Amino acid sequence: MSHHPPISACYAEGNNYEFWMNTSMKTTFWGKSLEVKPLGFQHVRIRFGDLKSTEHYVIERPNSSVNNLIFGEMYVEHFGPMFIKNMQTGDICNVEFKKRGWSGKGAYEVEGFTYNKSNPKDKKGRIWGKWTESLSIQVPGSSEEKVIWKAHPLPP
């Protein structure tokens, strides 16, 4: 791990998963905000059932910014594309983290689509929501919608 420049690596594992990443970043100071462009990838390997079948995902993260560094309430915002690739199937998911508008419109919103490797223009599924509240998916091949993650209430 290095502080100047900021470089780090990590590894974690559990009974059914492994997670690892190496990262550095490019930062830009804009006066009242700090923009961070992450460099490097995250990897997640998930083991299923008999623990012999696995899926390996590679994630390229969106940009982040810390806003109102001088005045106002400080907040963190993620924005731009996040790409996820299933290394076994070649399928991909592109998720767009929407940038907050002047009135707060679009704050924390995400929307993305999954694509089959064999037809990268054909949308298989959809994911959407707010990364601070909940995420839902539309099951590929149907109109069924399912909440896949919901945030716990913040402590007092």
Considering the domain 7-150 in this protein, what is its CATH number?
A: 2.40.160.120
Phi-psi label, residue 132: left if phi above 0, alpha if psi -120 to 50, beta otherwise: alpha
pLDDT in tens, 88-140: 999 999 999 999 888 788 899 999 999 988 887 788 889 999 999 999 999 77
CA-CA-CA-CA dihedral for 78, 149, 10, 51, to nearest 10 = -150
pLDDT at 144: 87
d(CA 22, CA 151): 27
Write down the domain spans for the chain. Answer: 7-150
pLDDT at 90: 92
pLDDT in tens, 45-91: 999 877 678 999 999 999 999 999 999 999 999 999 999 999 999 99
